[in-house]
Amino acid sequence: MGGGGNSTYGLKSFKRSKSHFAERITADGRDGWPVEAGRYRLVVSRACPWASRALVSRRLLGLEHVLSLAVADPIQDDRSWRFSLDPDGRDPVLGIRFLSEAYDRRETGYPGGVSVPAIVDVPSGKLVTNDYQQLTLDLATEWTALHRDGAPDLYPHALRDEIDSVMADVYQDVNNGVYRAGFATDQEEYEAACAGVFRRLELLTPRLARQRYLVGGTITEADIRLFTTLVRFDAVYHGHFKCNRWKLTENPVLWAYVRDLYQTPGFGDTVDFDHIKRHYYQVHTGINPTRIVPLGPDLSGWLTPHHREELGGRPFGDGTPPGPVPAGEEVAAQGRP
């Protein structure tokens, strides 16, 4: 999720830009960035669904103690993501006020937007990657030497073709579709995007009615990617992005599915509804010029029984749940049910 141009949202056609910095951190360091404990810092916003994928993956894989975390303020200014939640408005590890400073150290005058998730090389202070599509796949497959004992296999070899196919459809119609609807500039563009969102959700419903997870009997990368959009659906996409044919709570299958994941360690404990709502409603002034944040929806239902365990499946396969959230990374009380 990029920053800047907040007042232009909804005034020009939306097109998601490709990640400009697509070098990878790999076990063999073939791009010059080897996997190394303590070397890198993950920069996220808890408001951003793309960054939230990395938060969930990092928790499930137990990488908290080898890949440090910087959380940006959900409210951007024209310089984009800022570290104003930290003392003195500086990230305590990188020593910078704005994520753009890490971009500048990598490429002076970079013309694109400053987006999260981003991984920064701590010794040099340079951005390594902002490739949100590849980043979590690499955490699952290239960082295995640093995974916790009992970490799940989020991208199993035998299921990769199916996972890739499901993720491609979910990305096109749901993950990105809600943005194309929300930032549409005319009725036709909006209706096509909105119809695509609900068409895909309706196709996923019978699949998830008969099986607990999207692919196979365990949580995979596909579930992470669908979850980060669904958890935001009623809070921001239904109203702010006008994806309002129905609420997620009105679809019994999807509502139970997303509650099941939310209540699974590593998912709900990364979600901050306060950051989510304030970001969307206060930053996108092109479509919400008053910056008023709605009081709803009621969050109490997120912790109600979902009964999805009756479908079988094992969330972590042969692995185990992640441990407690590390000190200092907890979600504030106002951001959770």
Looking at the annotation, which residues are catalytic? Answer: 48, 179
CA–CA dist 106, 93 (Å, integer): 17
Please, which residues have CB within 8 angstroms of residue 281's CB and are 6 or more apart in sequence? 236, 240, 288, 291, 292, 293, 294
CA–CA dist 295, 174 (Å, integer): 25
**Three-state DSSP class for residue 171:** helix
β-bridge pairing 118-121 and 126-129? antiparallel
CA–CA dist 197, 195 (Å, integer): 5
CA–CA dist 187, 165 (Å, integer): 30
Helix segments in the chain, DSSP class H: 49-61, 100-106, 132-141, 160-170, 177-182, 187-210, 221-230, 252-262, 273-283
Neighbours of 289 (CB within 10 A): 10
Among residues 229, 232, 227, which one has the least CA distance to residue 257?
A: 227
- Tell me the sheet residues that pair with 126: 121
